[in-house]
Structure 1
């Protein structure tokens, strides 16, 4: 049975990964489709602004906090190796660390960095924007699924 500080750690991990899933699903379901419907220069400018604002303390605390919590859950699980929930705890940690945090680092951030360097008004930017929206959204869908599955795994470990 998971109890005490370990229980609190797992609950916080479930909540944090669920919050991140919520932020990501907002982008998948309405933010990116809305930006893609704008003229390319406007969509690019809006996404460039979003990418700057995403680096503020509020989102980063939840996003990075979930990664830190997931890493701690994995380490504590290996050390304690509880009778119940071990697979779910390790799976939840891996899903968040690789499927959410890892995908962000290797797929979404490089695309955001490249988008940040282009001139939204340049004619060739429109073609890049279509590619960006398609590729970025695909990777974001993966982050949604991984974050949500991580949250579910942490919750299942507690049952």
Structure 2
């Protein structure tokens, strides 16, 4: 197995880890949290947003951001085979649709929520904060989840096409 193929395998793995995290969140965590009271919802989101900032998460989330372009570069050839194009597409989709949406959309919402002293505000303020947070956060999460799923499919296709192929057989 070549170095380029090992990097491709690592890229597929980290892309799949993040896609799985976002998918599981979409079909279990978000619906479960949505059933909580305003105060409990906001407290739970604060806790989750704080706990996800850990080395294991960063290894896969940031690792994918680094591995995708490196992997794409390693697959470049003068004839520009299909594998290169698939990985270039995955890099762009992940970079903009997953990483970009997270950094410029979800993270600012998380930071605003983190600054709120939930135990010391009125029920009306809690309801207002939830309204400002929940729907936009979930919409952005749906975008990054779909982008990550698309990036994963592109990486998996790159794994199964023959090196140097110009079409999927």
TM > 0.5 between the two?
yes
Q: Could you tell me which of 86, 89, 98 is aligned with 1:88?
A: 86
Unaligned 5+ runs, structure 1: none
- Larger-Rg structure: 2
Aligned to 1:52: 50
* Cα drift, residue 154 of structure 1: 1.0
For residues 158 and 82 of structure 1, the distance between their equivalents in structure 2, rounded to whole angstroms, comes to 16
Unaligned 5+ runs, structure 2: 161-169
* Cα drift, residue 30 of structure 1: 1.8
Higher relative contact order (CA closer than 8 Å, sequence separation 6+): 1
The normalised TM-score by structure 1 is 0.90
Aligned partner of residue 82 in structure 2, secondary structure: coil
Aligned partner of residue 90 in structure 1, secondary structure: helix
Aligned partner of residue 116 in structure 2, secondary structure: coil
* Cα drift, residue 74 of structure 1: 3.2
Q: Alpha carbons of 1:44 and 1:11: their partners in 2 closer, same or farther (altered >3 Å)?
A: same
Q: Alpha carbons of 1:116 and 1:81: their partners in 2 closer, same or farther (altered >3 Å)?
A: farther
Post-superposition CA distance 1:4-52 (Å, at most 9, x none): 1111111211221111011111222221221121111111111101111
The normalised TM-score by structure 2 is 0.85
Q: Could you tell me which of 5, 9, 12 is aligned with 2:10?
A: 12
CA RMSD of aligned residues (A): 1.7
Post-superposition CA distance 1:85-139 (Å, at most 9, x none): 1210100111111111111110000000000011223221222213311111111
Q: Tell me if the contact between 1:11 and 1:154 (Cα under 8 Å) persists in the aligned partners.
A: no
Aligned to 1:28: 26
Q: Tell me if the contact between 2:75 and 2:84 (Cα under 8 Å) persists in the aligned partners.
A: yes
Q: Tell me if the contact between 2:19 and 2:145 (Cα under 8 Å) persists in the aligned partners.
A: yes
Q: Alpha carbons of 1:100 and 1:81: their partners in 2 closer, same or farther (altered >3 Å)?
A: farther
